[in-house]
Amino acid sequence: ATPTALLVGTGRGAQLGILIKGPEVLESTRRIDTIVLDKTGTVTTGQMTLHDVVTGDGEDPDEVLRLVGAVEHASEHPIAQAIADAAARRTGDLPPVADFRALDGRGVRGTVEGRELHVGRAALLAESHELPADLRAAQRAAEEHGRTAVLAGWDGRVRAVLVVADAVKPTSAEAVRMFRDLGLAPVLLTGDNRDVARSVAAEVGIDEVISEVLPQDKVDVVRRLQGEGRTVAMVGDGVNDAAALAQADLGLAMGTGTDVAIEAGDLTLVRGDLRAAADAIRLSRRTFGTIK
Ligand code: ADP
Ligand code: MG
């Protein structure tokens, strides 16, 4: 965090696992009525695992995984790491990738063994690839189960659907109840697909869901909510969340997240437990005597 980090209250903050940048931050907590939660890495563990590789006609799953793994190896996204790890485990050394590019939070591109691969969300692949009906069905089935479907293609056609999922943190549902008890409306915000987002939201008890938001647009969502007269706390962990954390009336960063998010936040939840966000808000409201 920041060198000027202080602990909330009289050692209570430390006990609760909360780091705060300065006492003035606490002032804002009394007006907060909305808490925006990033999905991946905040409500969920962010520890993705590859569950399945579904291929189209004539493609060998291990061979596709080897190529896709090579491209994802160059990406830092948790989904990419899960795919690259599984590929290395299943197929051995991964081939080198050329012309790698991350495509604004929707996926990646890279050339492996002369093939130009695109890997990422359906909307990204749809720009330049045809999606065969059986793979579209595999994508839908995965998303209906609350899993993320990662599409991989080359030469204008989607070749495989890689099914990836992470788990909701065991403490997230209780944290959401705590937010409601404090009078805060929880909102789930994610770049992920709508069905996946809804499934996670249902699991933790959130009904306001904003999904398929590009990384650079998360900040606009916070601004829009503020424009509706809401006072917004935002909890996030990723590079993607930094601008939104800074824009929020109160930005809370997961201590398990990226340095960029931690720097952008007003407050850090050291243990990455969402319940600490509710503790922090309750504690600082009490400190400011707003609970009568
Ligand atoms: P969140 O907002 O929940 O933290 P992100 O904004 O990090 O999620 O990611 C949004 C979506 O973009 C992911 O769910 C995934 O479908 C896609 N995506 C982003 N980067 C990659 C990648 N390297 N490989 C595959 N898919 C990716
Ligand atoms: Mg995240």
- ipTM for this model: 0.92
CA of 11 to the centre of ligand 1 (A): 38
Q: Strand, coil or helix: what is 38?
A: strand
β-pairing, 157-165 vs 148-154, is: antiparallel
- State whether the beta carbon of 105 lies less than 6 angstroms from ligand 1: yes
Which is the closest atom of ligand 1 to the Cα of 41? 4
Residue 2 has pLDDT above 50, yes or no: no
pLDDT tens figures, 164-202: 999 999 999 999 999 999 999 999 999 999 999 999 999
| Domains of the chain, CATH where assigned | 6-45+168-287 (3.40.50.1000), 49-165 (3.40.1110.10)
Indicate whether 29 pLDDT > 90: no
Question: Which residue, by CA, sits nearest to atom 4 of ligand 1?
Answer: 40
Cα of 146 vs its chain's centroid, Å: 14
Q: What's this model's pTM, rounded to 2 decimal places?
A: 0.82
- At 222-236, the pLDDT tens digits run 999 999 999 999 999
pLDDT in tens, 249-269: 999 999 988 899 999 998 889
pLDDT above 90: percentage of residues in the chain: 73
Report how far ligand 2's centroid is from the alpha carbon of 208 (Å): 17
**What integer pLDDT is reported at residue 3 of this predicted model?**
34
| Ligand 1: nearest atom to the Cα of 75 | 23
**Using a 6 Å cutoff on CB, does residue 240 contact ligand 1?**
yes
Mutate to test the pocket of ligand 1, among 121, 200, 237 (most ligand atoms within 8 A of CB): 121
